[in-house]
Structure 1
Amino acid sequence: MKTPHQLASRFREVILNGTWVANTNFKAQLSGTDYKTVTTALSDLNTIAVLAQHIRYYINGINQVFKGGPLAIKDKYSFDFPPITSQEQWENFLDTFWNDSEIFANYVEQLSEEQLQHYFTDEKYGTYYRNIDGMIEHSYYHLGQIVLIKKLISANKK
C-alpha cells in the first residue's frame, strides 16, 4: 500500500472506524452520546464537545489548504467555540465532523508520494507528511482524553 493510502487509512481508523491502536475511535465514542454528557464540565478539563470541536477545527483548516486555500487556522482559536446547547446542534456537529474527516482522508489518498514531501504552505510547518501524521497523533491524544472524561462523567453519575 502506498504511503498516502496508509495515512488515509490510519486517519480513518482514529476518527471514523478503527480499533487497532486505541480499541476505539472518535465516531464510536461520540455517536449516540447526548449533548448534556459531552458538554459536562469536570473541574478545569475541556469538555468532550470542545475536544471534538478542536480536532474538527484542525481537520477543516487542513482541508482548506488541500482545496488550494491559505492556512488560516490559529492555535489561539483552536478551543474557542460557541457552546452546544441542544442535541440537534450536537448531531449536526457530528455530521459535519464525519463529513469533513472523510473529505480529509480522500484528499490524503489523492496525494502523490512526492507531494507528501513538499512543504505544507511554508517551510516552518514541515512537510505534508509531517502535518498529516501529526493530525493522526493529535487525534489519538485527544481521543484518549475523551475516553477518560467519559469514564469520569459516568462514574460521577453513579
Structure 2
Amino acid sequence: MNESQRIQSLFTDLYHGHPWLDVTLEDTLGRITPEQAAQRPIKDGNTIWEIVNHIISWRENVLKRVQGEVLQTPSNNYIEKIENTSDKAWRQTLVALETTQKEWLYFLSTFNEADFNNEYSVNKLTYYQHIHGIIQHDAYHLGQIVLLAKMVTP
C-alpha cells in the first residue's frame, strides 16, 4: 500500500469506516434531524449544521490548494448562519459532504506522490501537511458534533 492509499483509508475510516476514535461523520450525522442540526445549545457557539458546512467548505478549499489553486480564505472562516432549515436542505448538506468525500478519494487515487512535497505558496506548508491537516480538521469538528449531538438529542 502506498502513502496515497493509506491516506484514502484514513479519509474512508473517518467518514464511514472503522476509525480508531470509533465514531464517523456519516453515522453521527445520520442520526441528526434538521431541527437538531439547526439548534444552538451553546450561546454564541456554532450549530451542527454550521460546522458541517464549515467542514465541506474547508474540504473544498484544501482540495483546490493541493491542485495548485491559490485561494483567499473568507473572513468568516466558512461559518455562516443557516437560513433554510428544511429537511430537504439538510439532505442537500449531507449530499454535499458525501460529494467532497468522493472528490477527495478520487483525487488521492490519481495523485502523484512526488507532489506531496509541493508547497502552498501562501503558508509554505506542503501538500502532505495540507492533506493530513484536513483529516485532522474533520476529526476535530467531528468531536464537536458528537458533543453538540448529545446536547440536542433527547
Per the normalisation by structure 1, the TM-score is 0.86
Structure number with the higher helix fraction is 1
Unaligned runs of 5+ in 2: none
Q: Are the structure 2 counterparts of residues 106 and 142 from structure 1 closer, same or farther at C-alpha, using a change threshold of 3 Å?
A: same
Q: Are the structure 2 counterparts of residues 43 and 143 from structure 1 closer, same or farther at C-alpha, using a change threshold of 3 Å?
A: same
Paired letter, 1:64: K
Listed as ranges, the matches of 1:96-111 within 5 Å are: 96-111=96-111
Aligned residue in 2 for 1:112:
112
| Structure 1 CA distance for aligned equivalents of residues 148 and 93 of structure 2 | 19
Paired letter, 1:150: A
| Structure 2 CA distance for aligned equivalents of residues 81 and 112 of structure 1 | 38
Q: Are the structure 2 counterparts of residues 25 and 115 from structure 1 closer, same or farther at C-alpha, using a change threshold of 3 Å?
A: same
| Identity value in percent | 22
Q: Are the structure 2 counterparts of residues 83 and 19 from structure 1 closer, same or farther at C-alpha, using a change threshold of 3 Å?
A: farther
Q: Secondary structure at the match of 1:76?
A: coil
What is the root-mean-square deviation in Å for CA atoms of aligned residues? 1.9
Aligned residue in 2 for 1:13:
13
Aligned residue in 2 for 1:128:
127
Listed as ranges, the matches of 1:80-99 within 5 Å are: 80-99=80-99
Aligned residue in 1 for 2:77:
77
Aligned residue in 2 for 1:140:
139
Paired letter, 1:151: K
| Structure 2 CA distance for aligned equivalents of residues 131 and 143 of structure 1 | 18
- 2:26 matches 1:27: yes
- 1:65 Cα shift? 3.6
- 1:32 Cα shift? 4.5
Paired letter, 1:145: Q
- 1:116 Cα shift? 0.7
